[in-house]
Structure 1
Amino acid sequence: MNRALSQRATPYWLTGPALLVFLGLVVIPLVMTVLLSFYDWGQYKGIVPEFTLKNFHEIFTDSYFFEIFLRTFRIAVLVTLFCMLIGVPEAYILNRMSPAWRGICLLAIIGPLLVSVVARTLGWALLLGSTGLVNQGLMAAGLIHAPLEFMFTETGVVVALIHVLIPFMILAVWASLQRLDPQIENAALSLGAGRLTIWRRVILPQIVPGMLSGGIIVFALAASAFASPAIIGGRRLKVASTLAYDEFLNTLNWPLGAAVAVLLLAALVAITVGSNRLIERRYAQVFE
Structure 2
Amino acid sequence: MTEMKQNLTVEIPSQPTLVRTKKQTSKKLGFVVLLLPVLFLFLLFFFAPMIVLFITSFRTFNQSIGVENQWTIHNYAQFISDSSYLLILWRTLRIGFITTIICLILAYPFAYQLVKMPDKLKRLVILFVLSPLLISMVIRSYGWGILLGNNGFINHLLVNLGITRTPLTLMYTEFSVILGMVHVVFPYMVLSIMGSLERIDDSLIRASKILGAGSMRAFFGVTLPLSLPGIFAGSVMVFSLTVSSFVTPSILGGAKVKVMSYLTYEQFTNTLNWPYGAAIGFILVFISVITLVVYSRILSFSKKGVTIQ
Q: Same fold (TM over 0.5)?
A: yes
Distance (whole Å) between structure 2 residues aligned to residue 208 and residue 174 of structure 1? 11
1:99-248 to structure 2, matched below 5 A, reads 99-248=119-268
Residue by residue over 1:192-214, the C-alpha shift from the partner in whole angstroms, topping out at 9 and shown as x without a partner, is 43333222222111111100000
Segment of structure 1 superposing worse, 97-106 or 6-15: 6-15
Segment of structure 1 superposing worse, 158-167 or 39-48: 39-48
For the aligned residues, what is the CA RMSD? Answer: 2.1
Cα shift at 1:41: 0.6
Distance (whole Å) between structure 2 residues aligned to residue 268 and residue 181 of structure 1? 33
- Aligned match of 2:51: 31
Distance (whole Å) between structure 1 residues aligned to residue 257 and residue 56 of structure 2? 26
SS of corresponding position for 2:172 = coil
- Deviating runs (4+, > 4 A) in structure 1? 3-6
Relative to 1, partners in 2 of residues 1:13 and 1:287: Cα closer, same or farther, differing over 3 Å? farther
Aligned pairs, how many?
287
Relative to 1, partners in 2 of residues 1:14 and 1:249: Cα closer, same or farther, differing over 3 Å? same
Distance (whole Å) between structure 1 residues aligned to residue 78 and residue 68 of structure 2? 17
Distance (whole Å) between structure 2 residues aligned to residue 133 and residue 15 of structure 1? 51
Cα shift at 1:95: 0.7
Return the letter of the residue paired with 1:154.
E
Return the letter of the residue paired with 1:61.
S
Unaligned runs of 5+ in 1: none
- Percent same amino acid at aligned positions? 34
Distance (whole Å) between structure 2 residues aligned to residue 9 and residue 184 of structure 1? 42
Return the letter of the residue paired with 2:80.
F
If the length of structure 2 is used for normalisation, what is the TM-score? Answer: 0.87
Cα shift at 1:287: 8.1
If the length of structure 1 is used for normalisation, what is the TM-score? Answer: 0.94
Segment of structure 1 superposing worse, 142-151 or 128-137: 142-151
Distance (whole Å) between structure 2 residues aligned to residue 145 and residue 208 of structure 1? 46
Of 70, 83, 95, the residue aligned with 1:50 is: 70
Structure of greater Rg: 2
1:81 matches 2:136: no
Segment of structure 1 superposing worse, 234-243 or 141-150: 141-150
Distance (whole Å) between structure 2 residues aligned to residue 181 and residue 140 of structure 1? 52
Distance (whole Å) between structure 2 residues aligned to residue 17 and residue 287 of structure 1? 44
